[in-house]
Structure 1
Amino acid sequence: MNFLKRITIVTSIAAASFTGYAYGQDFQWKEAKSNGYAYKYVTNDPTSARYYTLKNGLTVILSPTKKDPRIQTFIATKAGSKTDPSDHTGLAHYLEHMLFKGTDKYGSKDWAKEKPLLDQIDALYEQYNQTKDEDKRKEIYKEIDKVSGEASKFAIANEYDKMMSGMGADGTNAFTSFEQTVYTEDIPANVADKFLAVQAERFREPVLRLFHTELEAVYEEKNRGLDNDPRKVYEAMFSAIFPNNNYGKQTTIGTVEHLKNPSLKAIREYFNNYYVPNNMGVIMSGDFNPDEMIAKIDKAFSYMKSKPVPEYKVEQEKPITAPIVREVYGPNPENITIGFRFPGATTKDARLLSLIGSMLTNGQAGLIDLDLVKKQKLLGAYAFPYVLKDYSVLLLQGNPTEGQSLDEVKSLLLQEIDKLRKGEFSDDLIQSIVNNEKKNIIQKNEKYTSRAESLMDEFTSEVDHKTTLEYVDEISNLTKKDIMDFVSKYLQDNNYVAVYKRKGEDKNIVKVEKPTITPVSVNREDQSEFLKNIEKMPEAAISPVWLNFDKDIAKNKLDGIEVLSVKNTDNSLFRHYYHFDSGKWNNKMLPLAAEYLQYLGTKNKSSETLSKEFYKLASSFSVNAGNEETSVTLEGMNENYDKTIALFEDLIKNCQPDEKALEAYKARLKKSRANAKQNKGAIMSGLRSYAQYGPQNPFNNVLSDAELDALKAEDLVNILHDLFNHKHKVLYYGPKSGSEVVASLTPVHKLPATLKEMPKSKTFAQIPTDKNKVLFAHYDMVQAEVFWVRNGEQYNPGITPTVNLFNNYFGGGMGSIVFQTIRESKALAYSTYSYFSLPGKKQDKDMVTAYVGTQADKFNESTTAMNELLTTLPKSEQLFETAKSGLKKSIASERVTQDGIIFSYLRAQKLGNNFDMRKNVYEQAPKLTFTDINNFHDKEMKGKNYTYCLVASQDKVKETDMQKLGEVKKLNLNEIFGY
């Protein structure tokens, strides 16, 4: 589940999603009635969103769209961590976890026997909460553990997840933020009745079962947060900028002290206070008839009774009159974050804040983009608005380059604010932002999922939908003076908070120690009557749609190269690619040349001028060089397609060497490479590559420091000038036909008579996993992260159905064997999974991977638990049938569309296939038996050798414990990174 504090960047303003929007239209709230239900809507709203308020106060927002036979659903409560009791912080988040545990109708095999035990646990937790003596507390917790073990014999773990998985749901999840707790599902359109029956029961009267193992999962999450420097920076920022508001006084996950002293009574009180219909919303977008859907929702949730919600008093913040400084320490590289306070989401000033954010950072032509990033004055920098209901914040963040102090970074960032204040920005910047906002709005409406998310965010922030729709027209009328006045009012030279992220030991960390927990029963084979009744409910079949690569893709030629295209009949967006089957393995300098291009101009246009021109066209480009592929991506509005293509072709063919830009780029690259060595995620990526390929591997296949120093601007520019002389394909999704694309490209995409192959300078092959070994890298952290890697056999397309079903059953979700065992039963990890991975091309090998992120003091237990699962596959016929059902329904309702069709074709080609492999999975997976996947498990996992990639503190994981797993090799950072 995604329980991290949710950063909702400008969702209240810029999240409107619609297609074919004509600006300057009149938006008005209107009322209508259909099928006996009154609703409100906004005129000229292409989302066709209907707003209902049921008799009990429940808000229902429905936005139908027929593009995919699926529905994105959100059930949102307007309550989160800011409404936590001050003596029980983290409570909203706890409750969110527990709403996956069931009720007296599901999640239990014998409620009459389970309830008395749960009552005992309730009473024990109240004793534990109120007891200060540590010895007595330990005795009480032993009793909690004992009674919890007895109660678990009557519980059915993950029955909610099994029901949703069996429906073919994707994205089963939830999140808690400051003022919202949201439960999310993406379901096939034909299971709406089942979905509503489950959700109505879910919120009726949740039972807090299996509490102490879930509490341990929250402990794990807290410990992960202690290893997360960015999270600590945000908490420090909000604490300083909101000393009176609960945004700053308490965090979403809560304090260590409150985590150690939970109260089930307080959790129930919170549920009863806030999970009431007049404080909740059901938001859906997808393939449904709104007249039918509202009646179903009303029937499902009519049992809920409206009641007053506790008043939340917004504590007023005093103006900041002098800079407030905070410091955060941790192993990650240094940076600085600056925050300015603004009014809340429903105000006009919050909407203007969104514009200010775009004027500073828009990825191309913002002041920070042009002055700091493009000119390489910093390693990296950006600005974004964090819009919340009570207040908002403009955040600026900068990362220093080599030899640069954080104070120098701060000064550079504040200078850009000063330029806004003085009006030192392009006269057409606002109009360029308007042009791009029009494009962004269309992009957000391409999928039912993003449309639903936008409407949900508006609901929880209480932003008026009409105001959202009017945003583009509103900012179109602003003048330079309006911006200057606004900035002068809110962005002064002394009313900010600055958080310095320093590199060093965080001496304030108080780790959440693990309690003793006896594994609990998960009762995989049991089913509640409720689940059985859900499965019996009828559902109309959805017929799958398979890709036909001969019919779905137009195939044209341009001077001997393939032009593959799919026509966009929905809107005016295009995405255009130049695709090369060559990359870093062919030339280590190719990724550097690709990145260097953004700092170059031509004889006639500077790099800054080109960025502005692309942005004015509401277009963008990127060049990405991977190991074996390189892709140039251009996207924008169809009306500017020809101009966008011509602009990029001119740049890549006529870019000029710039030694000054190269020297700055080298310095930044060296700093970035040094920073990567301080990033645990990058270190783990290096270990995994080492495990797959050996000491010389794709991850460390980079230029040495000496090679980097010797690099000349002409070297990189020559690579760019020569790029289109090599074999490539054109891929296109947009309103043009394939022949029209060829006609547009013919004048500008000039090619030589014979295209060259790019020879490979280096080839990597996966090495045999011939013995058990541990690759260890030290990192100063609370947790330990372990990755299992095993290279298997060469690609065999015949096993694809088995692989898909096996992953669904074994380790691919919250209802899987791995998650149930390691997290639900044994409480050993917050995050855990395992997959059998098929390769990306037929010459490569399959791979077994597994992961556990756990507390360092659970290292032995968690690795033992995963190894037991890799050795013996637990059998559950019920879970197996659920995995089958869910896989088939998910594939039947999946639609591969847009440029996804082209990329599916290219992936199939690399594997030697000429058809949509999903058809084989759909037809063959349901015929498989448990014996089939058990045999597959035994063949591919049981008794096999593994390489354990371990990132942890050498002070917290003993080498003798590592040696139990295999031969230990401690890698230094130079071995991992290659420099």
Structure 2
Amino acid sequence: MNILKKITLVTSIAAASFCGYAYGQDFQWKEAQSNGYTYKYVTNDPTAARYYTLKNGLTVILSPTKKDPRIQTYIATKAGSKTDPSDHTGLAHYLEHMLFKGTDAFGSKDWAKEKPLLDQIDALYEKYNTTKDEAKRKEIYKEIDKVSGEAAKYAIANEYDKMMAGMGADGTNAFTSYEQTVYTEDIPANVTDKFLALQAERFRQPVLRLFHTELEAVYEEKNRGLDSDGRKVNEAMFAAMFPNNNYGKQTTIGTIEHLKNPSLKAIRDYYNSYYVPNNMGIIMSGDFNPDEMIAKIDRAFSYMKNKPVPVYNPGQESAIAAPITREVWGPNPENIMIGFRFPGATTKDARMLNFIGSMLTNGQAGLIDLDLVKKQKLLSAYAYPYVLKDYSALLVQGNPTEGQSLDEVKNLLLQEIDKLRKGEFSQDLMQSIVNNEKKNMIQKYEKYTSRAESLMDEFTSEVDHRTQLEYIGEISKLTKKDIMDFASRYLKDNNYIAVYKRKGEDKNIVKVDKPTITPVSVNREDQSPFLKKIDEMPESPIAPVWLNFDKDIAKSNVKSVEVLSVKNTDNDLFRLYYYFDAGKWNNKILPIAAEYLQYLGTKNKSSEDISKEFYKLASSFNVSAGNEETYVTVEGLNENFNKTTALFEELIKNCVADQKALDAYKIRLKKSRANAKQNKSAIMSGLRSYAQYGSQNPFNNTLSDAELDALKAEDLVNMLHDLFNFKHKILHYGPKSAEEVASSLTKIHQVPNTLKEMPKSKTFTQVATDKNKVLFAHYDMVQAEIFWVRNSDPYNVSITPTVNLFNNYFGGGMGSVVFQTIRESKALAYSTYSYFSLPGKKEDKDMIMAYVGTQADKFNESTTAMNELLTTLPKSDQLFETAKSGLRKTIAAERITQDGIIFTYLKAQKLGNNSDIRKNVYEQAPELTFADINSFHDKEMKGKSYTYCLVASQDKVSEADMQKLGEMKKLNLTEIFGY
């Protein structure tokens, strides 16, 4: 389910112009012509977006920016799950999957022989769809499986993915939500001709080949959803909030009944109805000339014919006159979600909803932030607007602390809503929201990727771009009375839905059972003539750019503290980090102290006052203590650099011990730790750490309950006061030069001439993977999740090119051997991958990782399939050359910028490297042969021992099956978590 992001587009603190935007500017739609094309644009638009409508009705939105030689592309259709036929829910999502399967021109090695078989499959599915007798249905499905196997002999699986990988594309994917289906690619700027040729063909006349194996992948996706309590809460909320609108009447993935009875005819009819140019948009942002790009797009897509789109009736919702409650059950911890209904995205009220969301939750100074989170009345709580085209919603969620009922959580949340109606908030909060929107706008538009995403969201929701740009002017005029009137209208004390997420067995789950599927051929070695044509199209090479750490990073000092700085020449944002090469391994209390700081004040300022002050400055801070590194991050507007850094230093040096705050934090931390034991992802993380390091490992290197109880506020505060007396570096990205940063901080960052070493208290060493083992943890779930873990040899920089190429070929994407075999051929998983992982520091060992998330009844088949791949590397010369070409093109178009330069430098230092390792990969990978990566596979994977980390229900996977894999150990939660 794609949650549309909160709109935080355009704001400003002062009237001064900045980053192409200034408060008070005039935003007007204008029309212009260039290169024979007419387009619209908005004056003073920081995205410089051009809006074209081609003769066939296709919308094209182009936002050029030259910073990176790449282009983020979206091809969007304004059709999603809300336009699914009521008797074929999930259809738009099915279709999204099938748009990767090719046409009659690609994806097939012999279309003339494949087509009759696909026609047979079509007819069989229609017969299957209408047959009720289960015995007859099984017979029909056997025939579908048989004919599908014959048809697959002529199919070329993943040929689309191979072509995109060969171009150096990144992020090949798609998503379906309520009202849109969107196909995404991030491509090097020099392959636009190839990209457009492929996309134009892709949408010309898609062929629904390899359907029954892809349908099984959708089954797997459905079962993953059945294991997601969060998804179930969202679906229950929307079903109650929108009983007359398809937001609530049907879900994106669809019902199990419809999943079991697909119709290829219905899918094709849907495509023909909605995938028409007047219902689609191409959105691009990146390095291109818009005059040239629009002509290319027009040539590529002019074949598409305009035709009427079926009229959609959104359904009218009645007012909610009394609270509506729903219950959802599952293994995750309890929580409650409250929802209020609002008008759709194009309305002024939806824009006001975004402002209201920031008043309640903005991460620092919202009513919920200060009253419930900062004061630790709940374990966690937040509010967020969910803006959709037909209707919108304000969703407010709370998680109870120890001993709280969900009704108590609900009442606390509703009290914050009531403050909006009563005007119990300050005018300062409203102005601070306006202030912070300036920073949010800059962040949104500084990267080509987020620019394109914002423009795509506007297109699919039919939100006017000018209106978005005028948002700052609109909210800057709001008064307290406006907020109170709005809240009184929409946020009443009786017009909400409350969904109670209870802990316990979900008795409503009906799993999608495993059908009998015979593995199909993927024909790795075959190529369509179309692929060869794409490969042969000319492209201008992009010259790679390597980092030169001596030139790209400016250095200075604040006394004995080294300052590493990269200048921001794009906008007025800064990010400052105090970096410590030490963390939880040095002191288990350090993460506790880091978290505790947010609840502390000084003698002169309360914790709430400090949060308000940071937010007023459009700035923030965060202290994060990892295993071996600690970052103190301070960020904001450069004009407030001195005020922001001084405010943080005042806090950390002068924070006052607050035992009451610590006691509350301990209660919440214990509750959070208990909740982690009910989270399957956290359990799997613990198993993986156990597999890497043994029974005493970084994951369970934590305080016991007794140690936690013994903590004193004074000890934590003393640690914070003393933090800057230990060795650290200052990392900076912003408009100031390194010398200016040092000059400013010399007055603010008071440190001794000699800094102390952080004591090393614990070292964890990866254990030898000398025999096959199974680490099992029970969890009440439909699926089974399996990780293969193997520790290999110490870090060796010379194998880096081989590792990169091997991962590209073997298990790193949808065109890889692992994905093709386990998902495309055998239909065993929705998500699967494998990779060889180099360590983060030279003292550590390499690792082999593999993953399959599958239905529990496919456990044996899935582990067998992955083990076969770990034993024998399938050979495909064509796939190997694609992996090699794609790797070089990706590196050539990659630009490491901003503070990424500094972090790359620090990573290189930890590995003992003094130059950009990508240069080695780029220059050496072309010389590698398949024999090289096959030898690497045999050395590192073939015949090796693995630790299998398995999270599944003990009722669905037998111990006998686990013991076939290796020596089994069933871990309890205390062994995994250390408390």
Answer yes or no: same fold by TM over 0.5: yes
* Deviation readout 1:743-786 (Å, 9 max, x if unpaired): 10011111112110011111100000010000000000000000
- Aligned letter for 1:533? K
Distance 2:799 2:447 in 1: 32
Given that 2:9 and 2:437 are in contact with CA atoms closer than 8 Å, whether structure 1 keeps it comes out as no
* Deviation readout 1:182-219 (Å, 9 max, x if unpaired): 00000000000000000000000000000000000000
Structure 1 equivalent of residue 114 of structure 2: 114
Structure 2 equivalent of residue 582 of structure 1: 582
- 1:808-827 matches, within 5 Å, as 808-827=808-827
Structure 2 equivalent of residue 650 of structure 1: 650
Whether 1:8 aligns to 2:4 is yes
Structure 2 equivalent of residue 250 of structure 1: 250
- Aligned letter for 1:413? L
SS at 2:68 equivalent: coil
* Deviation readout 1:150-169 (Å, 9 max, x if unpaired): 00000000000000000000
- 1:210-289 matches, within 5 Å, as 210-289=210-289
SS at 1:888 equivalent: helix
- Aligned letter for 2:140? I
SS at 1:745 equivalent: helix
- 1:729-808 matches, within 5 Å, as 729-808=729-808
Structure 1 equivalent of residue 511 of structure 2: 511
Distance 2:6 2:648 in 1: 30
Given that 1:600 and 1:658 are in contact with CA atoms closer than 8 Å, whether structure 2 keeps it comes out as yes
Structure 1 equivalent of residue 334 of structure 2: 334
* Deviation readout 1:654-689 (Å, 9 max, x if unpaired): 000000000000000000000000000000000000
Given that 1:13 and 1:351 are in contact with CA atoms closer than 8 Å, whether structure 2 keeps it comes out as no
Q: Cα 1:829–1:762, aligned 2, differ >3 Å: closer, same or farther?
A: same
Distance 1:242 1:557 in 2: 59
Aligned residue-pair number: 975
Distance 1:617 1:753 in 2: 31
- Aligned letter for 1:308? P
Distance 1:165 1:742 in 2: 44
Structure 1 equivalent of residue 915 of structure 2: 915
Distance 1:674 1:523 in 2: 49
Given that 1:19 and 1:445 are in contact with CA atoms closer than 8 Å, whether structure 2 keeps it comes out as no
SS at 1:628 equivalent: coil
Q: Cα 1:524–1:681, aligned 2, differ >3 Å: closer, same or farther?
A: same
Given that 1:82 and 1:178 are in contact with CA atoms closer than 8 Å, whether structure 2 keeps it comes out as yes
Whether 1:414 aligns to 2:410 is no
- Aligned letter for 2:548? N
SS at 2:965 equivalent: coil
SS at 1:849 equivalent: strand
Deviation at 1:11, TM superposition (A): 4.0
Given that 1:28 and 1:43 are in contact with CA atoms closer than 8 Å, whether structure 2 keeps it comes out as yes
Structure 2 equivalent of residue 42 of structure 1: 42
Q: Cα 1:15–1:823, aligned 2, differ >3 Å: closer, same or farther?
A: farther
Distance 1:625 1:663 in 2: 21
Deviation at 1:46, TM superposition (A): 1.6
* Deviation readout 1:254-307 (Å, 9 max, x if unpaired): 000000000000000000000000000000000000000000000000000000
Structure 2 equivalent of residue 292 of structure 1: 292
Given that 1:336 and 1:397 are in contact with CA atoms closer than 8 Å, whether structure 2 keeps it comes out as yes
Distance 1:18 1:647 in 2: 25
Structure 1 equivalent of residue 427 of structure 2: 427
Distance 1:163 1:62 in 2: 24
Distance 1:526 1:18 in 2: 54
Structure 2 equivalent of residue 572 of structure 1: 572
Structure 2 equivalent of residue 446 of structure 1: 446
Distance 2:892 2:807 in 1: 18
Given that 1:908 and 1:915 are in contact with CA atoms closer than 8 Å, whether structure 2 keeps it comes out as yes
Structure 2 equivalent of residue 303 of structure 1: 303
Distance 2:798 2:561 in 1: 32
Structure 2 equivalent of residue 853 of structure 1: 853
Distance 1:11 1:522 in 2: 43
Q: Cα 1:474–1:15, aligned 2, differ >3 Å: closer, same or farther?
A: closer
- Structure 1 unaligned residues grouped into runs of 5+: none
Distance 1:563 1:947 in 2: 43
- Aligned letter for 2:567? K
SS at 1:550 equivalent: helix
Deviation at 1:18, TM superposition (A): 9.3
Distance 1:625 1:553 in 2: 25
Given that 2:11 and 2:435 are in contact with CA atoms closer than 8 Å, whether structure 1 keeps it comes out as no
Given that 2:128 and 2:140 are in contact with CA atoms closer than 8 Å, whether structure 1 keeps it comes out as yes
Deviation at 1:10, TM superposition (A): 2.2
Percent of aligned positions with the same letter in both sequences?
84
Deviation at 1:13, TM superposition (A): 6.1
Q: Cα 1:759–1:970, aligned 2, differ >3 Å: closer, same or farther?
A: same
More off after superposition, 251-260 vs 11-20 = 11-20
Deviation at 1:9, TM superposition (A): 2.7
Deviation at 1:426, TM superposition (A): 1.3
More off after superposition, 760-769 vs 671-680 = 760-769
Q: Cα 1:18–1:393, aligned 2, differ >3 Å: closer, same or farther?
A: farther
* Deviation readout 1:455-492 (Å, 9 max, x if unpaired): 00000000000000000110000000000000000000
Distance 1:41 1:63 in 2: 10
- Aligned letter for 1:809? Y
Structure 2 equivalent of residue 403 of structure 1: 403
Runs of 4+ in 1 over 2 A off after TM superposition: 9-20
RMSD: 1.0
Given that 1:638 and 1:734 are in contact with CA atoms closer than 8 Å, whether structure 2 keeps it comes out as yes
- 1:46-445 matches, within 5 Å, as 46-445=46-445
SS at 2:597 equivalent: helix
Distance 1:303 1:312 in 2: 26
SS at 1:746 equivalent: helix
- Aligned letter for 2:806? F
Distance 2:975 2:809 in 1: 37
Given that 1:19 and 1:441 are in contact with CA atoms closer than 8 Å, whether structure 2 keeps it comes out as no
- 1:612-691 matches, within 5 Å, as 612-691=612-691
Structure 2 equivalent of residue 500 of structure 1: 500
Deviation at 1:12, TM superposition (A): 8.5
Deviation at 1:20, TM superposition (A): 3.7
Deviation at 1:15, TM superposition (A): 11
Q: Cα 1:268–1:923, aligned 2, differ >3 Å: closer, same or farther?
A: same
Structure 2 equivalent of residue 524 of structure 1: 524
Distance 1:802 1:753 in 2: 45
Structure 2 equivalent of residue 839 of structure 1: 839
- Aligned letter for 1:9? K
- Structure 2 unaligned residues grouped into runs of 5+: none
* Deviation readout 1:559-587 (Å, 9 max, x if unpaired): 11110000000000000000000100000
Distance 2:959 2:11 in 1: 50
Distance 1:597 1:20 in 2: 37
Whether 1:22 aligns to 2:22 is yes
Distance 1:154 1:739 in 2: 65
Distance 1:418 1:130 in 2: 53
Deviation at 1:23, TM superposition (A): 1.0
Given that 2:11 and 2:436 are in contact with CA atoms closer than 8 Å, whether structure 1 keeps it comes out as no
Given that 2:11 and 2:471 are in contact with CA atoms closer than 8 Å, whether structure 1 keeps it comes out as no
Distance 1:427 1:751 in 2: 38
Structure 2 equivalent of residue 599 of structure 1: 599
Distance 1:455 1:645 in 2: 34
SS at 1:634 equivalent: strand
Deviation at 1:336, TM superposition (A): 0.1
- Aligned letter for 1:160? Y
- Aligned letter for 1:91? L
Distance 1:360 1:620 in 2: 17
Structure 1 equivalent of residue 876 of structure 2: 876
Distance 1:289 1:382 in 2: 42
Given that 1:15 and 1:444 are in contact with CA atoms closer than 8 Å, whether structure 2 keeps it comes out as no
SS at 2:748 equivalent: coil
Deviation at 1:397, TM superposition (A): 0.1
- Aligned letter for 2:683? I
Given that 2:10 and 2:438 are in contact with CA atoms closer than 8 Å, whether structure 1 keeps it comes out as no
Given that 2:20 and 2:45 are in contact with CA atoms closer than 8 Å, whether structure 1 keeps it comes out as no
* Deviation readout 1:635-657 (Å, 9 max, x if unpaired): 00000000000000000000000
Distance 1:443 1:148 in 2: 49
Deviation at 1:961, TM superposition (A): 0.3
* Deviation readout 1:731-750 (Å, 9 max, x if unpaired): 00000000000010011111
Whether 1:551 aligns to 2:547 is no
SS at 2:107 equivalent: coil
Distance 1:11 1:469 in 2: 11
Deviation at 1:881, TM superposition (A): 0.1
SS at 2:787 equivalent: strand
